[in-house]
Amino acid sequence: MSIEAQSLLTQLARRFGASESSIEFQAIFLDSLNDVLDDIDTRLGLSTARVDTVNDSIDLTEQTYRPLITRGLAYFISEDGEWALGSIESLERKYERKLKLVHTKYLKSIDLTARFGDVDE
């Protein structure tokens, strides 16, 4: 099941005490969401499409990736400076730990077993 950007926006706006209809908060949210997706692309090796509007969805499993994306959003939005949510170092550590955990789960989920005879001669 994919992750809806609108539901992430609602969750983060509530957490930061912002209005989800605020154009400014939506812009920071979308920039931060794309930063998280870029991290997933480069650090986990998964290909994800960029999100252009809050009506877009992210083609990742909600159960596995939503906690990672939420932590990443909290970190990147707080890093912006205007919307501080506690210590930036603490948020960064939590995000890094979640990235490592999801990366480990991803590596365990893929089959790396070499098979002989799979190549046509």
- Three-class SS string for the chain? CCEEHHHHHHHHHHHHCCCCCCHHHHHHHHHHHHHHHHHHHHHHCCCCCCCCCCCCEECCCHHHHHHHHHHHHHHHHHHCCCCCCCCHHHHHHHHHHHHHHHHHHHHHHCCCCCCCCCCCC
Is pTM beyond 0.85 here? no
Does residue 107 sit within a domain? no
Residue 77 lies in a domain: yes
How many structural domains comprise the chain? 1
Residue 121 lies in a domain: no
Do the domain assignments include residue 59? Answer: yes
44 inside domain: yes
Q: Between residues 113 and 56, which one has the greater pLDDT?
A: 56
Q: Please report the pLDDT score of residue 57 as a whole number.
A: 93
Could you list the residue range(s) of the whole structural domain that residue 48 is in? Answer: 3-93
The answer to whether residue 19 sits within a structural domain is yes
By mean pLDDT, which of 4-18, 63-77, 94-108 is the weakest?
Answer: 94-108
Q: Comparing 34 with 61, which gets the higher pLDDT?
A: 34
Is residue 43 included in any domain, yes or no?
yes
The answer to whether residue 117 sits within a structural domain is no
**Each residue of 45-65: pLDDT tens digit?**
888 899 999 999 999 988 889
**pLDDT band (50, 70, 90) for residue 115:** low
